[in-house]
Amino acid sequence: MTNWENERECEQKRIEVVIDKVTKMEHQLKQSAGEATSDIVSIRKRFWEDVTVNVENEDETIETVASINQQTELLSERERRQKHSMKQIAVLNRLRTSPYFARIDFHEKDMKESEQIYIGIGTFYDEEREEFLIYDWRAPISSVYYDFSPGPATYTAPSEKVSGELLLKRQFIIRNGVLEGMFDTGEAIRDDLLQEVLGKQANTQMKSIVATIQREQNIIIRNEKSRLLLVQGAAGSGKTSAAMQRIAYLLYRYREKMSAENILLFSPNPLFNSYVANVLPELGEDNMQQTTFQQYLLAMLGGNFEIEDVFDQLEFVLNNKGSLKYTTRMNSIQYKSSLNYLQGMNEYLETLKSEGLVFKHIKVRGKLLVSAMEISKYFYELGSEKSIPNRLQIVSGWLLKKIKKFEKLERKEAWVEEEIQYLEKEDYLRSYRIANKQQDERDSFDEVEQEQRILSEYVVKKRFKPLYRKIKSLDFLDVRSIYKKMLETEWPVTDWKEIRSLTIHELSNGRLLYEDATPFLYMKKQLEGFATNSQIRFLFIDEAQDYSPFQFAFLKNLFPKSKLTILGDFNQTIYAHGNNEGLDILTYLFEKNETEKVILNRSYRSTKEIVEFTKSLLLDGSQIEPFNRQGKKPVLVYCENQEHHTSEVLKKTKEFIESGHKTIAIICKTQAETNLAYEELKGKMELKRIGVGKTTFTDGVMIIPSYLAKGIEFDAVIIYNASEDQYGLESERKLLYTSCTRAMHELCICFTGEMSPFIPH
Ligand X SMILES: Nc1ncnc2c1ncn2[C@@H]1O[C@H](COP(=O)(O)OP(=O)(O)OP(=O)(O)O)[C@@H](O)[C@H]1O
Binding-site residue positions for ATP: 233-240
Binding residue ranges: 233-240
Q: Which stretch binds ligand X (CB under 6 A): 232-240, 462-470, 585-593, 682-690?
A: 232-240
**Which amino acid, residue 566?**
I
Among residues 213, 392, 479, 618, which is the contact residue for ligand X, using CB under 6 A? 213
- Exactly one of 162, 197, 260, 339 binds ligand X (CB under 6 A); which one? 197
Helical (H) or strand (E) element with 32: helix 3-46
Show Cβ contacts of residue 374 under 8 Å, excluding neighbours closer than 6 positions.
Answer: none
User: Are the C-beta atoms of 16 and 177 separated by less than 8 Å?
Assistant: yes
- Nearer CB in complex with ligand X: 208/337: 208
CB of 509 to ligand X, least distance (A): 37
By C-beta, is 639 or 712 nearer to ligand X?
A: 712
Could you say which of 240, 545, 565, 723 contacts ligand X (CB under 6 A)? 240
Nearest-CA neighbor of 389 among 597, 195, 531, 575? Answer: 531
CA distance 317 to 282: 40
From the list 120, 122, 233, 578, which residue makes contact with ligand X (rule: CB under 6 A)?
Answer: 233
Residue among 217 and 731 whose Cβ is closer to ligand X: 217
Examine residue 297 and tell whether it contacts ligand X (CB under 6 A): no
Q: How far is the CB of 609 from ligand X (least distance, A)?
A: 16
User: Cα-Cα-Cα-Cα dihedral of 325, 331, 333, 334, to 10°?
Assistant: 160
Q: Is 188 in the site for ligand X (CB under 6 A)?
A: no
CA 296 to chain centroid: 10
Within a 13 Å sphere around the CA of 711, how many CA atoms are in the beta-carbon half?
29
Amino acid residing at 638:
Y
**Which range of residues in 66-74, 207-215, 319-327, 398-406 is near ligand X by CB under 6 A?**
207-215
Restricting to residues 299-318, name those near ligand X by CB under 6 A.
none
Checking DSSP bridges between strand 131-136 and strand 115-120, what pairing results, if any? Answer: parallel
Per DSSP, the three-state class of 335 is helix
Least CB distance to ligand X at residue 710 (A): 7
Please give the Cα distance from 297 to 528 (Å, whole number). 16
Q: How far is CA 532 from CA 34, 190, 257, 450, in A?
A: 42, 46, 20, 47
Q: Is 126 helix (H, G, I), strand (E, B) or coil?
A: strand
Question: Residue 461 carries which side chain, given as an amino acid letter?
Answer: K
Part of the chain binding ligand X (CB under 6 A), chosen from 233-241, 523-531, 551-559, 640-648: 233-241
Examine residue 164 and tell whether it contacts ligand X (CB under 6 A): no
* Minimum gap (Å) between residue 631 Cβ and ligand X: 14
Give me the DSSP letters along 483-533: HHHHHHS--SSTTHHHHHHHHHHHHHTTEE-HHHHHHHHHHHHHHH-----
Name the residue with the smallest CB distance to ligand X: 238
Confirm or reject binding of residue 614 to ligand X (CB under 6 A): no
Write the interaction track for ligand X spanning residues 560-599; mark x where CB under 6 A is met and - where it is not. Answer: ---------x------------------------------
Assess 235 for contact with ligand X (CB under 6 A).
Answer: yes
∠ CA(98), CA(99), CA(101), 5° rounding? 80
Q: Which one of 142, 232, 237, 334 is in contact with ligand X (CB under 6 A)?
A: 237
* Chain centroid offset of residue 332 CA: 27
Query: Which residues lie closer than 8 Å to 661 by C-beta, 6 or more apart?
Result: 201, 715, 716, 745, 746
- Residues 682-721 binding ligand X (CB under 6 A) are 711, 713
On whether the CB atoms of residues 709 and 543 are closer than 8 A, the answer is no
CB of 32 or CB of 601, closer to ligand X: 601
Based on CB atoms, which residue is closest to ligand X, 199 or 397? 199
Q: Which amino acid is at 326?
A: Y
Q: Identify the CA nearest to 712 among candidates 722, 700, 697.
A: 697
- For position 217 contacting ligand X by CB under 6 A, the verdict is yes
User: CA 431 to CA 457: how far, in whole Å?
Assistant: 10
Residue 605 makes contact with ligand X by CB under 6 A: yes
Angle between helices 479-488 and 514-528 (to 10 degrees): 110
Q: Least distance (Å) from ligand X to the CB of residue 99?
A: 19
Q: Which neighbouring-strand residues pair with 104?
A: 117, 169
Give the shortest CB-580-to-ligand X separation in angstroms: 16
103, 239, 661, 669: residue in contact with ligand X (rule CB under 6 A): 239
If one asks whether residue 212 binds ligand X (CB under 6 A), the answer comes out as: yes
Q: How buried is residue 358: exposed, middle or buried, by Cβ count under 10 Å (0-12/13-18/19+)?
A: middle
Q: Does the protein bind ligand X through residue 549 (CB under 6 A)?
A: no
Q: How many residues bind ligand X (CB under 6 A)?
A: 23
Whichever of 212 and 396 has its CB closer to ligand X, that residue is: 212
- H/E element, 540: strand 538-541
What x-and-dash track marks residues 393-432 binding ligand X by CB under 6 A? ----------------------------------------
Residue 115 host element (H or E) = strand 115-120
Candidates 71, 171, 218, 241; binder of ligand X (CB under 6 A) is: 241
Of residues 43, 198, 300, 701, which one binds ligand X by CB under 6 A? 198
- φ, ψ of residue 385 to 5 degrees: the values are -70, -20
Stretch of residues binding ligand X (CB under 6 A), selected from 53-61, 235-243, 327-335, 630-638: 235-243
- 238 or 621, CB closer to ligand X? 238
Question: Least distance in Å: CB of 124 to ligand X?
Answer: 23
Distances (CA, A) of 74 to 37, 52, 99: 13, 15, 35
Q: Confirm or reject binding of residue 209 to ligand X (CB under 6 A).
A: yes
Of 189 and 471, the one with the shorter C-beta distance to ligand X is 189
Q: Does 741 bind ligand X (CB under 6 A)?
A: yes
Applying CB under 6 A, among 99, 120, 236, 626 the residue interacting with ligand X is 236
Instruction: Give the bridge partners for 312, in sequence order.
Output: none
Which one of 239-247, 323-331, 489-497, 632-640 is the stretch in contact with ligand X (CB under 6 A)?
A: 239-247
Q: Give the rounded distance of the alpha carbon of 565 from its chain centre.
A: 12
Cβ at position 241, least distance to ligand X in Å: 3
By the criterion CB under 6 A, which residues form the site for ligand X?
194, 197-198, 207, 209, 212-214, 217, 233, 235-241, 569, 604-605, 711, 713, 741
